[in-house]
Amino acid sequence: MRDITTEIFEAVLFDNDGTLTDSRGPVERSWRAWAAEHDVPFERFGHFHGVTSRGIVERVAPHLDADAATADIDRREMEDVEGIVALPGAVDALAAVGERGAIVTSAGRELARVRIRAAGLIQTSVVVTADDISAGKPDPEPYLTGARLLGADPARCLVVEDAPAGLQAGRTAGAATLALLTTTEQDALEPDADLVAESLADIRFEQVDGGVRVHLQVR
């Protein structure tokens, strides 16, 4: 495991849902409604947080048309922004990393834009969505893409995540990983996390010569 408090990172790559933004209400309402309409037992979903909508559909309902189902779910989620808010520390974190930050999300481009705006967050200059890649988390492609677009070495990037699939993607990309306990139990996050924190409110980012440093907040 890496001691991320001793490193200087060229870039910080943030997941969005569950890391920067609390969108659990709209997500659960949309998926429950879709599942009920298509006679898909909701218990079948398990813990797919951090996986693309298409990836979830292909696993829980392989008999359905993945394109149509994904479009339907994205439409439902875009129409429901009730309760979407920025998670603790998210606004300060994005402001602190500035141009060295990117958002790497499993949501589609338009849905990501809607949620970032609904949460009142600053949209980073680089946003990688499900529409920009061919393989979603836990594949490393999303984070490799984010690093490339920022001109950063993946091994000198920090991935900030709340889901095992995202942490696995970051780890496989060669990045350091910071896990947040905003949606997932610690036991599930620890195998692929260099550091675990309650939320971004426990972390302070500082721009220094050559990149970004990470500090644990004293509260």
Q: Could you check whether the bond before residue 41 is cis, i.e. omega within 30 degrees of 0? A: no
Strands (E), 70-219: 85-86, 101-104, 126-128, 157-161, 176-180, 195-197, 203-208, 211-216
Catalytic residue among 15, 72, 74, 162: 15
- Of 3, 17, 139, 194, the active-site residue reads 17
9: helix, coil or strand?
A: strand
Cα–Cα distance, 163 to 191 (Å, whole number): 12
Q: Do residues 150 and 102 touch, judged by C-beta distance below 8 A?
A: yes
The question of whether 15 is a catalytic residue gets the answer yes
Q: Which one-letter amino acid corresponds to residue 150?
A: L
Sequence-distant (6+) residues with CB within 8 A of 138 are 50, 51, 164, 165, 166, 168, 169, 172
Q: Hey, which residues are catalytic here?
A: 15, 17
